[in-house]
Amino acid sequence: MDIIQKIEARAKNSDKRIIFPESDDERVLKAAEQITRKKIARVILVGGEKRVRARTRSLGISLNGIEIANPLSSEKFDRYVSVYARKAEITENTARLIVQKPLFFAALAVAAGDADSMIAGAVHTSGDVIAVTKNVIGLQKGITVPSSFFLMNIPGYKGGEQGTLMYADASVNPNPGSEELADIAVVSGKTAERLLGWKPRIALLSFSTKGSAEHHDVCKVTDALEIARKKAPKLLIDGELQADSALVMSVARRKMKNVGKVAGKANILIFPDLDAGNIAYKLTQILAGAKAYGPILQGFAMPVSDLSRGASVQDIIGVAAILAVWSKRWMR
């Protein structure tokens, strides 16, 4: 049983409400049916009821147990308009035009507590999903940037957490500074604790291990380590570490005088930039046959997730299970 199967089992009979603003997408509709049938979560589809029902009929999809929320006819619409007008400091007439857009309506539903989490990105770009979420829901206290993670389930791998590693950030921040890198490390550790029940062992990766090379890119990572440890002194975080020093104990012992509690046995890898993170997760998929679950957004004040626009129905179901479990453990 891989990690997503375990998460789906934990999500069973969840009463958490997941809102989908992309009800025109066939994959979303098919996933919504299965999420409901498997009792992973309660699904809310944003869209016109007649249009959604006609689309699902043509696809042979059942809407039993699924709520349809039409922004313009929703009893919550005027409340969301007032809230957004105040938040964005715009007129209510302008807010009406914005809030009727499904992505904004869905994000406002989460912010208002009328949904527990949101999944989008099958149609919208990642940039749109992140911008709207940041604008409407906002970031966690003390976090300066949103980020993302992938859960990498690697066949035959004995390290990490029963063969699974968390990679962050691999889809949001192109070149984070030290403060941002520290935030990515801290929020990834907290995500692993709350969502997965892991004891995080967080490695800040570099092309250097503990001063083996000198470069301003190495300094960025060492500065991030210092900031992260001050922000979250109870988390096990170390760096700068090369990937082999982070994952292979024999290598860590050769390269380091004091191995500590992270090197050689890290379960969370923090990449210094988006190039490294994105390349690493795709190489792990292709060369190791790993399953990559994500990207899952983190750092926001409520659970939300972006999807690849190439996401499959099963990908969407897996993300829904992650958010259902995460919502159970969420600390506002």
The one-character DSSP state at 100 is T
- Distance from C-alpha of 220 to C-alpha of 152, rounded to nearest angstrom: 25
| Position with higher pLDDT, 226 vs 142 | 226
The yes or no reply on domain 147-291 and CATH 3.40.50.10750 is yes
Helices and strands of the chain, counted as H and E runs: 13, 11
pLDDT, residue 293, reads 86
Residue 331 pLDDT > 70? no
For the record, the structure tokens of 41 come out as 């979560």
Q: Are 103 and 129 in contact (CB under 8 A)?
A: yes
- pLDDT averaged over every residue in the chain: 94
Q: Is 296 helix (H, G, I), strand (E, B) or coil?
A: strand
Residue 196 pLDDT > 80? yes
In sequence order, what are the beta bridge partners of 326? none
Residue 188 pLDDT > 80? yes
| Reported confidence tier of residue 184, pLDDT bands at 50, 70, 90 | very high
What mean pLDDT is predicted for residues 136-150?
Answer: 92
Residue 250 pLDDT > 90? yes
Q: List, by residue range, all CATH 3.40.50.10950 domains of the chain.
A: 3-138+302-329
Residues 6+ apart with CB under 8 A from 168: 147, 148, 149, 150, 184, 185, 188, 268, 269, 270, 271, 277, 298
To the nearest whole percent, how much of the chain has pLDDT over 70? 99
Which segment of 17-21, 103-107, 253-257, 309-313 scores lowest on mean pLDDT? 309-313
Residue 110 pLDDT > 90? yes
Residue 41 pLDDT > 50? yes
| Reported confidence tier of residue 260, pLDDT bands at 50, 70, 90 | very high
- What phi, psi does 231 have (nearest 5°)? -70, -35
What mean pLDDT is predicted for residues 198-227?
Answer: 95
Q: List, by residue range, all CATH 3.40.50.10750 domains of the chain.
A: 147-291
Residues 6+ apart with CB under 8 A from 279: none
Query: What is the distance between the terminal CA atoms of the chain, rounded to a whole angstrom?
Result: 31
Residue 5 pLDDT > 90? no
Residue 332 pLDDT > 80? no
Query: Per-residue b/e over 303-323, b at no fewer than 16 CB within 10 Å?
Result: bbbbbeeebebebbbbbbbbb
What mean pLDDT is predicted for residues 289-301?
Answer: 90
Residue 2 pLDDT > 90? no
- Distance from C-alpha of 128 to C-alpha of 134, rounded to nearest angstrom: 10
- Distance from C-alpha of 308 to C-alpha of 289, rounded to nearest angstrom: 19
- Distance from C-alpha of 110 to C-alpha of 332, rounded to nearest angstrom: 12
CATH number assigned to the domain covering 3-138+302-329: 3.40.50.10950
- Distance from C-alpha of 188 to C-alpha of 173, rounded to nearest angstrom: 14
Residue 233 pLDDT > 80? yes
pLDDT, residue 1, reads 66
What mean pLDDT is predicted for residues 305-330?
Answer: 89
Cα angle, residue 331 at apex, residues 329 and 332 outer, rounded to 5°: 140
HEC string for 243-264: HHHHHCHHHHHHHCCCCCCCCC
| Reported confidence tier of residue 311, pLDDT bands at 50, 70, 90 | confident
- Distance from C-alpha of 48 to C-alpha of 71, rounded to nearest angstrom: 8
pTM: 0.90
Q: Give per-residue pLDDT as tens, 25-36.
A: 999 999 999 999
